Amino acid sequence: MKTNFLIAVSFLFLLSSCVKDKGSVTMTYNKGTAVYADLDAVRSKTLIGTTRQINDPGKIFIDENMLLIGEEDEGIHVYDNTNPASPVNVSFIQLPFCKEFYVENNMIYAESQYDFVKIDITNLSLPTLVNRVEFAFGDAIFDHNGNVLVGFDYAVVTESFDFGSAEELALRESSNLFYNSKGNLIPESSVPSSFTGNSESIKGTLNKITVNNNYVYVVGDSKLYTFYDAPNQMNLVNETDISLGLETIYPEGNNLYLGTQTSMIVVDASNPSSPEYTSEYEHPTSCDPVLPNGNVAYLTLRTADFSGCNGDENTVEVLDISDVNNPEPLNSYTVSSPYGMNIINNYLFVGEGNNGLTIFDISNPQFLAFQTTLSNVTVYDIMPHPTDPSIILTTGDNGLVQYNIDYATLTLTELSSINY
């Protein structure tokens, strides 16, 4: 799976040997070699494809009667989930190079290379393209033959660079280097953010796209993109420079809560077309989603081995956000390897990867009362069923599982699974 690949890459980078020898440094990093194609041909690809096996899963979305699972860089699998005990694969949306998507009111909002698209899935068997905002995430990058950069082939390599070289300086900020068809370095800042990320097989609080009223917000590596969403038209109206290392976004009221590797950032979206930075709560370098809950917000800080995150903390943090201009820490709880989380039926569920699923009672939102850790499951993220609180969905290494949950005993009974 690509998730494991990228985790391994990041870990290798963290442990890369910096061997100082006559002004050079040796590093292990993720090398991206440019892939070029006819962009018009990619854009004109038929939207509806035949159903297929899931090979490289990405984002996951659950609604009352449907279940969507991304296929990394290829599109989205559509399932009829009217009966959670027996989901049915009904169609496949062909969306080349799609990594991130979000669903609201039977509309899919998705990145596709340079573009941002809106797809109507009112009829699950017959999705239709509503709008495409071309070059929303950056200008086209051409090769010497006039073809357009459409992606990268990646490999883990170990190479030596001179101190002060463009490569050595770039690797101080990232574990990736990108090269064009002639072998020349492409600055990461010029690569559209939709090309450089990956949509790990985890979902829930780990989103890069969100919808709030008539606006859609997308986080790139350092920018917040704002789209105005009308019934038959969608337009990019703003690009806001926020911070390096943006990872997740979550809306709450008039605010957007952004997770980065080093902080939680609050953005004021009371003027929805022009969101503005409000405040920031800094924390040790880690991977973290943000989950607001009234006057508090929960963060998971993960820095376990092979997590792809620098640092040495594995905690769930509780912040006081009653004053969004000055978020303050309230409490911290040590866990094993926190990934995604969700609030369901007055409990905070925290996915801990191979370490299981940890459940806290949040009757008092400021204090997490540990209940149990279910160690017999692998959970990266948790999603509630939108209409049936007795059903939860989890994602793990091998697939997506739907469970009945007994809240009296906090035990799970498997309903169905979709294996990868």
pLDDT mean over 47-53: 90
Task: Look at 136-140, 202-206, 213-217, 371-375 and tell me which has the smallest mean pLDDT.
Answer: 202-206
Q: Which two tokens stand for residue 376?
A: 């017999």
What are the pLDDT digits (tens) for 228-279? 998 888 999 999 988 877 878 888 889 999 888 778 899 999 999 999 999 9
> Please, which pLDDT band fits residue 140 given cuts at 50, 70 and 90?
confident
Residue that wins the pLDDT comparison between 204 and 403: 403
What are the pLDDT digits (tens) for 79-122? 999 999 999 999 999 998 888 899 888 899 998 888 999 999 98
What are the pLDDT digits (tens) for 336-365? 988 888 999 999 999 998 999 999 999 999
Domain coordinates in residue numbering, the chain? 1-200
DSSP characters over 108-127:
EEEEETTEEEEEE-SSTTS-
Residue that wins the pLDDT comparison between 368 and 188: 368
Q: Which amino acid is at 109?
A: Y
Residue 125 CA to its chain's centroid (Å): 26
Mean pLDDT for all residues in the chain? 84
Residue 10 CA to its chain's centroid (Å): 16
Residue 280 near residue 258, CB atoms below 8 Å: no
Rounded distance, CA 321 to CA 371, Å?
Answer: 25
* Top-confidence range, 34-38, 51-55, 129-133, 382-386: 129-133
pLDDT at 405: 96
